[in-house]
Amino acid sequence: MEDNFDYPVAPAPAEAEEQIDARGHNYSLEAERYVIGCVLLDSDAVVEVMHRIDHDDFYDPRHKAIMQAMEQIYERDEVVEYAKVWEELKKLKKDNQVGGPDYIATILDSVPSVANITSYVEIIEEKSLVRRLMSFCENTKREILAGKKDFKDLSLDADEQLQKIIERRKVVNVQRIKHFTEKVIEMAEGAKLNDSQLLGLDTGFVELNRATSGFQKGELIILAARPGIGKSALAMNIATYACRNSKANVAYFSLEMSNEQLAARILSSFSGIGFKRIRDGKITNKEMLQLTGAQAEVNKLNLYLDVECNTNLDDIRAKCTKLKREDKLDLIVVDYLQLVTDTRGGGSRQEEVSRVSRGLKKMARDFNCPVLALSQLSREVERRNLASSNEDHEPGLSDLRESGSIEQDADVVLFLHRPNSKQSDSEVRKATNHQTKLIIAKNRQGEQTKIPLIFRGPQFTFSEVNENEKEEVKEPETNE
Angle between helices 29-41 and 101-109 (to 10 degrees): 90
- Do 149 and 157 meet the contact criterion of CB atoms below 8 Å apart? yes
- Do 196 and 208 meet the contact criterion of CB atoms below 8 Å apart? no
d(CA 167, CA 143): 23
Kindly indicate the confidence band of residue 403, based on its pLDDT and cuts at 50, 70 and 90: low
Average pLDDT on 422-445 reads 66
**439 beta partners:** 415, 450
Identify the residue with better confidence: 228 or 198. 228
- pLDDT for the residue 121: 85
- Do 212 and 203 meet the contact criterion of CB atoms below 8 Å apart? yes
Report the candidate in 432, 381, 166 with the shortest Cα–Cα distance to residue 274. Answer: 432
d(CA 57, CA 168): 11
Q: What is the dihedral of CA 49, 50, 52, 58, to 10 degrees?
A: 80
143 is catalytic: no
Kindly indicate the confidence band of residue 191, based on its pLDDT and cuts at 50, 70 and 90: low
Distances (CA, A) of 383 to 23, 110, 397, 400, 414: 67, 76, 16, 15, 20
Rg over alpha carbons for the chain, rounded to the nearest Å, is: 30
- pLDDT for the residue 220: 93
Determine the 3-state secondary structure of 277 from DSSP: helix
Decide if pLDDT at 223 tops 70: yes
Determine the 3-state secondary structure of 334 from DSSP: strand
* Structure letter (DSSP) for residue 38: H
Average pLDDT, the chain: 78
Dump the DSSP string for 110-168. T----TTHHHHHHHHHHHHHHHHHHHHHHHHHHHHHHT-S-HHHHHHHHHHHHHHHHHH
Determine the 3-state secondary structure of 238 from DSSP: helix
Q: What is the pLDDT of residues 93-104, one digit of tens each?
A: 888 888 788 888
Identify the residue with better confidence: 136 or 4. 136
Average pLDDT on 315-344 reads 83
d(CA 90, CA 66): 11
Kindly indicate the confidence band of residue 424, based on its pLDDT and cuts at 50, 70 and 90: very low
Distances (CA, A) of 48 to 116, 120, 206, 255: 12, 12, 46, 46
Q: Which of 87, 126, 143, 256 is catalytic?
A: 256
In 311-448, beta strands by DSSP E: 331-335, 371-376, 412-417, 433-443
- pLDDT for the residue 321: 82
- pLDDT for the residue 359: 86
d(CA 124, CA 29): 9
Range from 240-249, 355-364, 384-393, 417-426 carrying the lowest mean pLDDT: 417-426
Percentage of the chain surpassing pLDDT 70? Answer: 77
- Do 127 and 118 meet the contact criterion of CB atoms below 8 Å apart? no
Strands 331-335 and 250-254: parallel
**26 beta partners:** 20
Q: How far apart are the first and last CA of the chain?
A: 87
Amino acid occupying residue 28: S
d(CA 261, CA 279): 9
Identify the residue with better confidence: 62 or 310. 62
Q: Please state, as a whole number, how many other Cβ atoms lie within 10 Å of the Cβ of residue 250.
A: 26
Decide if pLDDT at 7 tops 50: no
- pLDDT for the residue 469: 53
Give the chain's domains with CATH numbers.
13-169 (1.10.860.10), 201-471 (3.40.50.300)
Range from 272-281, 415-424, 427-436 carrying the lowest mean pLDDT: 427-436
Average pLDDT on 45-65 reads 84
d(CA 399, CA 380): 7
- Do 159 and 318 meet the contact criterion of CB atoms below 8 Å apart? yes
